[in-house]
Structure 1
Amino acid sequence: MRPTMKDVASAAGVALKTVSRVVNGEPGVHPGTAERVREAIDRLGYSRNESARVLRRGHTSTVGLVIEDLADPFYAALGRAVEDVVIGQGCLLLSASSSEDPDRERELVRTFCARRVDGLIVVPAGHDHSYLRRELEAGTPAVFADRPPGPGIDVDTVLCDNAGGAALATRHLLAHGHRRIAFLGDHPSIFTAARRLHGYRSALGHLYDERLVSMRTPSPDGVRADLDRMLTLDRPPTALFTGNGRLTVTALRALAGRTSAGRTTAGRTTADGTTAGGTATGQPIAMAGFDDFELADLLTPGVTVVAQDPAGMGRIAAELLFRRLSGDGDQPRHVTLPVRLIPRGSGELPP
């Protein structure tokens, strides 16, 4: 039979209220008495009944986090920062991946709400969040991170300067003499991808050429095909801007494959296997990427990137959520985090 708080009180020789104070971390218990209660808890194997506690207090001390992919390094860093804040508040984080599927996002949010989480942090996959309206009206706060909610839902939101970062990278390549700058972006329905395309295009102005743009879900075959098409144009690109970390890594592999296969890109293949106007590492054209990634600084040349702060995004989103949980009734906050350019060599190659 499962031991009760009453059994602990009897074993420790204290009042039931004293056990309750120790279990819930409340003050007012002599240290020696508290230690006696904890020894009785360990000896009996007592654990508090969370279901009953929820019914009494009306909250579960849990937070739901829905992100695109728990395995993605960007979202892993964001999720870890959220978890640190949640644990610091004495709560538990429930995390799940939407896999960029709006239906799955909606079902995950509904599942978390059915489990009565105290609040939600959502990286949205879709554009319709009307399904959240009932939960918001019932008092469950939500914060959106990385991407904003759809029309009609105004809640706390934490984004990065996607358009500004893309413009920063493009201007950097322009400053190093490039006028034919290609762009590989994620699917255009994704908010971040669309904003980065906007920044790239605005920085290029009249130099923009739609033949140098590809927007689709990243895949090795797709990136290779796009690069093959662009690099065989009558005026091929001399520089490449990639719209996220996965695209950067995929493009690096594809460019290395082209060089090792001896195909010409922006120049001619030389006797030692390098490409004229390129590098000896398989990167034939200048490159800048949006998002930093592991080992980017150890490649030769290092990969120039526009770095976001996923940990800062997760931390701020979680802090905003707990402000709402503590009773903050102010207007929704819309935070845009700055980005920074990290030159490492790949973006500084001349045309």
Structure 2
Amino acid sequence: MACRISVISRHISSPPLEHLDDLGVRVAPEVRSALSSGVGVVALESTIVSHGMPYPQNFHTAQEVESIVRANGAVPATIAILDGVPCIGLSLAELERLAKLGTMVSKTARRDIPYVIARRGNGATTVSATMFFASKAGIKVFVTGGIGGVHRQGESKLGKTPVAVVCAGVKSILDIPRTLEYLETQGVTVVSYSTDEFPAFFTPNSGCKAPCRADSVEECADIIEANTKLGLGSGILIGVPIPAEHAAAAKNVESAIQSALHEAESRGIAGNSVTPFLLKRVNELTGGDSLAANIQLVKNNALVGAKIATALTTRLSRFTKSS
């Protein structure tokens, strides 16, 4: 039976931003102002910009995602490392630079952060690295496309980073049941948004029942707040199914995935090169349907994530005024 959670709102304070200045992390003025004044902030990864699709489509999509966040009451904070400086929030020029550089930018997971900084390089942050910097800044909501599976890094960081990740579920190119089991062992709260079934990235259905269900952004905000108040120290995964009208045909996607997996194995593609190869190959095999679905699901996640961030800060503001 899906669990439901409701808690009384309590004030959750963000850490002072001076510690980030001391660490050499640059916080964009808009993001700094939002964090200081209690406006909702949504963290966004940058790997999807540099490695997710070609220029200029990646730049236009990134702009649209940031616009959706703003239109729903929150401030976007795209996270990346530029010339060795971790940046929480990018200017339009910086976003376009990242998009133009594309795959020349290092795909940067949490483990790679020291190396990229030491070499004064450019790094596009993955789920794990984005979560790390978001947590450091006190950003509690992070929007992405989908997380990796049991052989990736993103899901393991959910067990020790108190950030809510809003995504379209586990990428359907991976082992979803095993990933959900692994998340359970890591103490990660897994929630499906307005559905009992955990979504599978390109499609709304995975065949896996979600441990918990939330039917509104307010319920999601309650869960995030309860997690923070109790100091569990773990993250929350909120799976938002791609809207049905934008979902690629599940059968065609699954067929393309199996073909791409066999091709990757035969070519000896391994490590963090697997997912980019599979996504690219699946897009080719589906005639562009999977990329179109990817763009739509990220936009939908941004809309839901922004509303969750706004709901969280709204209730905290009300509590502060009444206390």
TM range (shorter): 0.3 to 0.5
Bigger radius of gyration among the two: 1
Larger helix proportion of the pair: 2
TM-score by length of 1: 0.36
